[in-house]
Amino acid sequence: MQNMNTNKTIIVGMSGGVDSSVAALLLKEQGYKVKGLFMQNWQTEAGEECTSEIDFKDASKVCDLLDIPLHRANFADEYWDRVFKEFLSEHEKGRTPNPDILCNREIKFKSFLDYAIKIGADLIATGHYANLKIIDNSTYLTRAIDLDKDQTYFLHEVKENEFKKCIFPLSKYTKNEVREIAKKHKLPIADKKDSVGICFIGERNLKDFLNKFITFEKGKIKDENGCVIGEHQGSILYTEGQRQGLNIGGVKGRDELPWYVFKKDIKNNEISVCQGVNNNLLMNSSLWLEEINYINNKEPTYPYDCFVQVRHQHKPVQCSVDKNNNGFLINFSKKIRAIAPGQSAVLYNNDICLGGGIIAKTFK
């Protein structure tokens, strides 16, 4: 009996890493017609280390080994206009943006999806650790088996219509199992390290990178009593809860405990810090969203109870969500430490990702 999958063409977003490589391998084993597509999202300047060329070579080696064709598409202009400009704008407002979320919404599930369909794809696939479930003819984004690697947090701004055209082959696998599969099939990237941080910054210092686009001014670091205890390099560079890079020496009359940012005053170019990892000044009881993207376009009746996650790998906390004319207030069942405006608050009903939005304000 013919495998029904042999009639379907799937184009896999190949990054040159182990996850997308194993995704392509698994789909080929399932009988799909598999093709790869390498996305170049950033135009490297002369003299800069070009990691995308290394990644493309790795993707090419894997596709050669799997005997699948590899296409290459340049989405650098789209990325600049629809992801990077927003990234800079958020920094200028003093917020801490997450470009991976914008990249998924604007590039991987728009530009890549459109391009893949134009070159003959029935479906697309990526190496994300996420799952899709069909319930009553609706497609829901749900958590992957490997909760440590689960990436639904980064996918909450993608819509159901896009997910209907997508497969996540790694949904039932742990990261360790994925590496074992890569080793078993002798894929050349089996031991390649996962990429970390912001893709277009790479190994560079964030301040040095942003300094090409934004002018920074030094300013005062104040303690919780308003006393000046140091000098910072530019208030927009810091994030609530940040410990590193403050360079606060011994302060007279204070314990030798680490200092943490608990507030930023962008207008006056000041940051405020406190001591102690669980200082109450770092704790938040609620947050404010101006908008919520609901993946399935089904807005619930307010108020309602669910779980909220405020960063990747943050353990979700029970909350209530209410709406008024100006936005959405999310009250937590217990306080959450160091929430950064500009990051996303993502809402879950058990393992189903409902959607989320960008954190505009937090409340102590």
Judge whether 50 counts as a catalytic residue.
Answer: no
Sheet hosting strand 270-275, strand order edge to edge: 228-232, 219-222, 270-275, 259-265
Active-site option among 63, 103, 319, 353: 103
The gap from C-alpha 65 to its chain's centroid, in whole angstroms, comes to: 30
CB proximity list for 22: less than 8 A, separation 6 or greater: 127, 169, 170, 173, 178, 181, 182, 187
Element (H, E) at 283: strand 283-289
Active-site option among 63, 166, 199, 353: 199
First to last CA, the chain: 63
Half-sphere exposure of 179 (CA within 13 A, CB side): 7
Q: Is the bond into 303 cis (omega within 30 degrees of 0)?
A: yes
Judge whether 166 counts as a catalytic residue.
Answer: no
246, 252, 255, 257: CA torsion to nearest 10: 10
Contact between 282 and 241 (Cβ < 8 Å): yes
Instruction: Measure Cα distances from 212 to 48, 88, 94, 257 in Å.
Output: 14, 11, 17, 34
* Residues designated catalytic: 103, 199
